[in-house]
């Protein structure tokens, strides 16, 4: 299996939430950094595993890191 970051914050949805997966498993949806940390804690991650700016731990898809808000419609 190819190497991948353990946490993926997916593209924003039309409602402004971003789906979060941890090791390939859905963990929840977040709408802010604070909610993201809570989703990760509920998924069982400790403080050392919740470094939102560490590209080895968190991969942000479809929008910039820490970008929250509805996806743009084309």
Least confident residue range of 15-24, 25-34, 40-49 = 40-49
Domain annotation covers residue 30: yes
Domain annotation covers residue 19: yes
Distances (CA, A) of 46 to 9, 17, 40, 71, 72: 17, 23, 8, 30, 33
Domain annotation covers residue 65: no
Domain annotation covers residue 36: yes
Q: What is the pLDDT of residue 22?
A: 95
Domain annotation covers residue 21: yes
pLDDT at 32 over 50: yes
Alpha-carbon span 42 to 52, nearest angstrom: 16
How many domains, the chain? 1
Per-residue model confidence as pLDDT tens digits over 42-72: 999 988 778 999 999 999 999 999 999 877 6
């Amino acid at each position: 299996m190819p190497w991948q970051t353990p946490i993926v914050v997916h593209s924003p949805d039309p409602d402004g939430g971003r789906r979060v997966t941890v090791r390939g498993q859905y963990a929840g949806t977040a709408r802010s950094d604070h909610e993201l940390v809570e989703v990760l804690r509920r998924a069982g991650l400790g403080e050392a595993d919740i470094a939102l700016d560490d590209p080895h731990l968190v991969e942000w898809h479809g929008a910039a890191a820490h970008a929250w808000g509805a996806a743009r419609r084309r």
